[in-house]
């Protein structure tokens, strides 16, 4: 006959349950309200939700039930849901911000280990968002913790392309971003009704971007990708002001006309004092089915032209990071919310993008470079 489980055993099981949005144990977040164990081994667990309309309530209830049921001696498990008080939410918000109640942009701090890449283009239609989404998916597949800011306020498309259908959750004035393919994502499209256009001027754009960076709880990211609007307008300037350490990735096509415009998008860093990580040439060539011939539908050499021109303008070597072939499945994957690098990692376009991702960031950092707060003791 099995013995009645202890509160410590149940609490240990609950520590394996992570909040789906915050990605931390519910025991660390103050979400466990109570644990009641009956003599017959039945367990009733009280759980605090962060907000009344929590979109993940079903998932949390399911995960808690499964974890508790696995404890030896438990005959049944039930979950009672409650909602945090305003005071509890404020405590949670302060805890998530590392004890700092005030807002700050974590990626702008001197000790931040997150690499920030702003993906830019001179003009629209070059596949900048497709490249951003597939880069993010490739980095996540390689083991990195990745976030994406859809900073293309007027032409936001990242949520659809990533298949991010959930809405953000608001805890006080902190926003918990939805996750798709292990990528945290935020977009102004998540805050507008239907397909309504965003009609904002410069100050509003700056404030929106600032909120995406300071109000959103991103957690400990390895990489943050920002999908910028085409050109060198307000958002590009705001990124330079808010995240001076962000590096620029310039996307172009082989067409010389597109290359000339893309060069301007990268040359802005001469004034903002940012670094250009490199140039990606998208739609470089097309390989017909059953053939090894590369058909250059949009000309040749645009990517290298931009890289060479920026090298000359900026006085630093700017590499051509890669040439992504034209593949209709990139577009189809974007429409379906399934990035090609995940659905067909062996596709030539997927291999190129994955190689770019690996060369940009390298291996997951683990504990390398992190301050553990350990100091030597005196003997």
DSSP secondary structure letter of residue 246 = P
127 among the known binding-site residues?
yes
312 among the known binding-site residues?
no
Could you give the 3-state DSSP secondary structure of residue 64? helix
Give the integer Cα–Cα distance in Å for 179 and 217. Answer: 12
Q: Residues 189, 193, 197, 203: is their CA dihedral positive or negative?
A: negative
123 among the known binding-site residues?
yes
Give the integer Cα–Cα distance in Å for 347 and 332. Answer: 14
266 among the known binding-site residues?
no
Q: Are 318 and 294 in contact (CB under 8 A)?
A: no
Query: For helices 256-267 and 302-314, what crossing angle results, to 10°?
Result: 30
143 among the known binding-site residues?
no
Q: Residues 28, 33, 37, 42: is their CA dihedral positive or negative?
A: negative
128 among the known binding-site residues?
yes
Cβ neighbours around 347 below 10 Å, total: 17
H or E stretch at 12: helix 7-14
In 3D, which of 263, 265, 202 has the Cα closest to residue 234?
202
338 among the known binding-site residues?
no
294 among the known binding-site residues?
no
Which positions make up the binding site for ATP? Answer: 122-129
| Binding site members | 122-129
């Amino acid at each position: 006959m099995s013995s009645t489980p202890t509160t410590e055993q149940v609490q240990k099981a609950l520590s394996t349950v992570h909040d789906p949005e915050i990605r931390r144990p519910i025991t660390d977040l103050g979400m466990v309200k109570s644990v009641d164990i009956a003599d017959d081994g039945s367990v009733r667990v009280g759980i605090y939700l962060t907000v009344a309309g929590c979109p993940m309530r079903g998932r949390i209830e399911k995960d808690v039930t499964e974890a508790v049921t696995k404890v030896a001696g438990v005959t049944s498990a039930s979950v009672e849901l409650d909602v945090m008080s305003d005071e509890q939410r404020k405590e949670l918000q302060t805890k998530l911000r590392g004890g700092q109640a005030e807002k700050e942009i974590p990626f702008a701090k001197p000790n931040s280990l997150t690499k920030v890449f702003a993906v830019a283009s001179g003009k629209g239609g070059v596949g900048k968002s497709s490249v951003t989404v597939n880069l993010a998916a490739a980095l996540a597949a390689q083991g990195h913790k990745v976030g994406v800011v859809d900073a293309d306020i007027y032409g936001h498309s990242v949520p659809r392309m990533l298949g991010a259908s959930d809405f953000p959750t608001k805890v006080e004035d902190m926003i918990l971003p939805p996750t798709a393919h292990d990528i945290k994502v935020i977009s102004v499209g998540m805050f507008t009704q239907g397909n309504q256009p965003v009609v904002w001027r410069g100050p509003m754009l700056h404030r929106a971007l600032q909120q995406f960076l300071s109000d959103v709880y991103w957690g400990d990211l390895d990489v943050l990708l920002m999908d910028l609007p085409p050109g060198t307008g307000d958002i590009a300037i705001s990124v330079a002001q808010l995240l001076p350490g962000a590096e620029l990735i310039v996307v172009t096509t082989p067409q010389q006309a597109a290359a000339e415009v893309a060069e301007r998008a990268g040359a802005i860093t001469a004034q903002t004092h940012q670094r250009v990580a490199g140039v990606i040439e998208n739609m470089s060539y097309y390989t017909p089915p059953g053939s090894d011939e590369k058909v250059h539908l949009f000309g040749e050499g645009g990517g290298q032209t931009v890289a060479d021109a920026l090298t000359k303008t900026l006085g630093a070597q700017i590499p051509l990071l890669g040439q992504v072939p034209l593949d209709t499945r990139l577009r189809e994957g974007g429409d379906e919310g399934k990035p090609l690098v995940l659905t067909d990692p062996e596709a030539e376009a997927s291999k190129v993008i994955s190689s770019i991702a690996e060369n940009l960031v390298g291996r997951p950092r683990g504990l390398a470079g992190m301050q553990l707060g350990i100091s030597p003791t005196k003997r």
